[in-house]
Amino acid sequence: MPNMEAEFDRSLFQPLNEEQKERNLMVRPSLTYWQDAWQRFRRHKPALIAMLVLLLIFLGAIFIPAISRYDYDQQIRTARNQFPSWEHLFGTDKLGRDLFIRVVYGARISLSIGFVASLINLTIGVLYGGISGYIGGRVDNIMMRIVDVLYSIPLLLYVILLKVVFQDYIDEAFKNTALASLKSLGPELILIYVVLGSVYWVGMARMVRGQVLSIKNNEYVLAARASGASGPRIILRHLVPNAIGQIIVTVTMSIPSAIFTESFLSFIGIGVSAPMASWGSLASDAYKGLASYPYLLLFPALAISVTVLAFNIMGDGLRDALDPRMRR
Amino acid sequence: MIPSNGDRQVLLEVRNLRKYFPVRKGWGRHGQLKAVDDVSFSIFKGETLGLVGESGCGKTTVGRTIVRLYRPTGGQVLINGTDIAGMTQRQLKPFRRTMQIIFQDPYASLNPRMTVGDIVGEPLDIHGLAKGTARQRMIYDLLESVGLSEEHASRYPHEFSGGQRQRIGIARSLALHPDLIICDEPISALDVSIQAQVINLLDDLQREKGLTYLFIAHDLSMVQHISHRIGVMYLGCLVEVAGSRRLYHKPLHPYTQALLSAIPIPDPDASAQSRRIILEGDVPTPIDPPPGCPFCSRCPYVMDICRKERPPMLESEPDHFVACHLVNGPAAAGEPGSAS
């Protein structure tokens, strides 16, 4: 064997003293996944602004009706079709109703739709996709074909069919059960909740299934199984935490499309019933007098655009922040 | 510390283990991928059995089937005499404590969302072994036993290097005080300089805790270094098992001879003199393989019987098992190594 030991000058090497040893320790503070994500999200300025805008809309929708002088169905006979002023920030419609407060109520409807959509996504979507992906095989095959069928039904057709079939039941329920207290929302809005609830989770289910399929064969899941971990433990401790970033992004991205769907359905007349206002129905009403009173269309349309845009931008920022592959 | 012949105690015995995976061959036709086909061997307490073979020969499947990450298609896996091959997950749970597994890829084997402390402590939680400060103490002890320190427990896997991550994986596998650890290529994803560290750590732990290893690898020289005995696999079958020194100096199976001749020799003069056996063709597909010896399509000494009958695993010399008609059969006139 050749002599591998090279000659070197011993004086070049000296033992470290205590202080120098300290310096060699790891000094970067340990960051959790969420701290790390928040730091990246903060650097994304448009997303941060979008989040503030949404926060403002959210707080406004909750608190403004309590402090406002007007109500959404209050008609001020002396002030019809008024141009925006300090008295009526967004003006009034042809019945003398304050448009500002009606837009605020519209925000309530839209945000509640977004809330329902994300709740459905998080419960049905995540569970359905998670179970389908984790069990796999024939179960997965059947569950995903059901999703395919739901996915292929045109939404508008579906709403109209549901309305025809369930209208009587819903009306009945409104008279006799606890739902009566929700009467001001109107049966059609409930119908929209039902529609969104029954179809909006399919995208989430597909996404979660894909995530679970790719995560479940990771070696850390195998290690947990080799230690004897149970199915629920693996799903809750290993699968969901590793898919949570994608889940949050999908929820955020699905909210604007749910809001837009509601606005669209209200615009064509199968949304909230009068006198309740939603952004879609406000736009629909304003459309008829567009030439004379364009501001009546401007404000609800602006509200829809700003909210949908803000959700999309925030979703974009969240995706960048939560996706570990985007880590720089 | 190779156990002497007299007081050897069998810890794990694998009998006729089979693991077939269903594969789809298009339009409803199904085939079977015979990842492990009739493998039998035993491991004695305190020893290291190396398992070598090229990619796709079923080494990893053997390891994973033993710890029951896969359900065996057939055969028996006896731990201290108890067959665990057919057990349900619930029945298996107490046996999980006697055997653990270390994985190949230190980047995929640690959950990125859990702290190192939680990763190492998870087996303790699953089996309800310790809580609160006792659990904390045990985690610190485990980390120290693999050369890490207390302050690493609150950190996340991405803050560690490959070698450190593999140490964390080893600490996790030690948490339940197992007797047997399946090392599934624990060093092949690491730098050469780190490989030696991890091998030495495994060596030290074996001496301290009296562990038994099934060491799966494709790095032949590293396997020779750590193993007491070595098994050679080809296409889902075990073809030869012998003491590591013996196997390297006197391989009997033609495949083992070819495999060993592929080890690079760190000396140009000796390398020039050595003869490399170059096999013809590729490894055949393990999907629905024909009967007979798995190596018959590439064996330079192939005979008629090799294509018809699978050679049984026989102890052709003391403690040297080989599955080859040429060595064991009536045609074994001379040793294959001296045939040409």
The closest alpha carbon to B69, from B91, B56, B85, B50, belongs to: B85
Q: What is the mean pLDDT of residues A137-141?
A: 90
Does A154 map to a domain? yes
Judge: A233–B96 Cβ closer than 8 Å, yes or no. no
Judge: A223–B103 Cβ closer than 8 Å, yes or no. yes
Distance in angstroms (rounded) separating the CA atoms of residues B183 and B102: 5
Q: In order along chain B (340 residues), what is the average pLDDT of each group of 10 residues?
A: 61 92 76 88 93 88 92 91 89 91 90 90 91 92 91 87 92 93 90 88 92 90 89 92 90 90 79 76 78 86 87 88 83 44
Q: What is the DSSP string of B94-105?
A: HHHTTEEEE-S-
Q: What is the pLDDT of residue B228?
A: 93
Does A67 map to a domain? yes
Q: Which helix (H) or strand (E) holds B32?
A: strand B30-44
Q: What are the φ/ψ torsions at residue B16 (nearest 5 degrees)?
A: 50, 40
Distance in angstroms (rounded) separating the CA atoms of residues B84 and B63: 14
CB B224 within 8 A of CB B248: yes
Q: What is the pLDDT of residue B333?
A: 43
For tokens 């419609």, what's the residue?
Answer: A93
Judge: B122–A218 Cβ closer than 8 Å, yes or no. no
B103–A contact, CB cutoff 8 A: yes
Judge: A227–B105 Cβ closer than 8 Å, yes or no. no
Does A223 map to a domain? yes
Total Cβ atoms within 10 A of residue A57: 18
Does A36 map to a domain? no
What are the tokens at B143?
């980390």
A227–B contact, CB cutoff 8 A: yes
Does A84 map to a domain? yes
What are the tokens at A231?
């199915």
Q: Which residue of B has its CA nearest to A214?
A: B108
CATH number where A91 lies = 1.10.3720.10
- Domain carrying residue A154: 57-326
Taking 60 as the threshold, does the pLDDT of residue A26 lie above it? no
Cβ neighbours of A28 in B, within 8 Å: 159
Mutation choice for B interface testing from A227, A236, A238 by most B CBs within 10 A: A227
CB B311 within 8 A of CB B295: no
Q: What is the pLDDT of residue A25?
A: 58
Q: What is the mean pLDDT of residues A8-19?
A: 73
CA distance A215 to chain B (A): 10
Taken in order A44, A49, A55, A57, is the CA torsion positive or negative?
negative
Strand partners, B184: B216
pLDDT tens digits, residue range A274-322?
777 888 888 888 888 788 888 888 888 899 899 999 999 998 888 888 7
Judge: A30–B154 Cβ closer than 8 Å, yes or no. yes
Q: What is the DSSP string of B56-98?
A: TSSHHHHHHHHTTSS--SEEEEEETTEE-TT--HHHHHHHHTT
Instruction: Return the percent helix, strand and coil in chain A, to nearest 5.
Output: 75, 0, 25
Choose the most confident range, by mean pLDDT, from A32-46, A95-109, B237-251: B237-251
Distance in angstroms (rounded) separating the CA atoms of residues B37 and B58: 9
Q: Which helix (H) or strand (E) holds A23?
A: helix A18-23
From residue A119, alpha-carbon distances to A112, A184, A258 in Å are 10, 22, 12
Distance in angstroms (rounded) separating the CA atoms of residues B264 and B257: 14
CA distance A291 to chain B (A): 57
Does A81 map to a domain? yes
Bond before B254 cis per omega within 30 degrees: no
Q: What is the DSSP string of A214-246?
A: HHHTSHHHHHHHHTT--HHHIIIIIIHHHHHHH
Cβ neighbours of A248 in B, within 8 Å: none
Choose the most confident range, by mean pLDDT, from A4-13, A120-129, B29-38, B167-176: B167-176
Angle subtended by helix axes B132-145 and B162-174, to nearest 10: 130
For tokens 């283990």, what's the residue?
Answer: B17
Q: Are strands B212-216 and B180-184 parallel, antiparallel or unpaired?
A: parallel
Instruction: Return the percent helix, strand and coil in chain B, to nearest 5.
Output: 35, 25, 40
Distance in angstroms (rounded) separating the CA atoms of residues B61 and B237: 11
Mutation choice for A interface testing from B30, B66, B111 by most A CBs within 10 A: B111
133-152 in chain A: CB under 8 A from chain B: none
Q: Report the CATH fold assignment for B10-98+178-273.
A: Rossmann fold (3.40.50)
Q: What are the φ/ψ torsions at residue B147 (nearest 5 degrees)?
A: 85, 15
pLDDT tens digits, residue range A210-224?
999 988 888 999 999
CB B195 within 8 A of CB B225: no
Judge: B111–A242 Cβ closer than 8 Å, yes or no. yes
A21–B contact, CB cutoff 8 A: no
Judge: B176–A227 Cβ closer than 8 Å, yes or no. yes
pLDDT tens digits, residue range A226-274?
998 888 888 888 988 888 888 888 888 888 888 888 888 888 877 777 7
Judge: B126–A237 Cβ closer than 8 Å, yes or no. no
128-167 in chain B: CB under 8 A from chain A: 154-156, 159
Q: What is the pLDDT of residue A5?
A: 57
CA B180 to chain centre: 12
pLDDT tens digits, residue range A166-207?
777 777 776 776 666 666 666 677 777 777 777 888 888 999
Instruction: State the total domains in chain A.
Output: 1
Q: Which residue of A has its CA nearest to B68?
A: A226
Does A8 map to a domain? no
pTM of the model: 0.77
Q: Give every strand in the sheet of B237-243, ordered side by side.
A: B99-102, B180-184, B212-216, B48-52, B229-234, B237-243, B320-322, B314-317
Distance in angstroms (rounded) separating the CA atoms of residues B170 and B161: 14
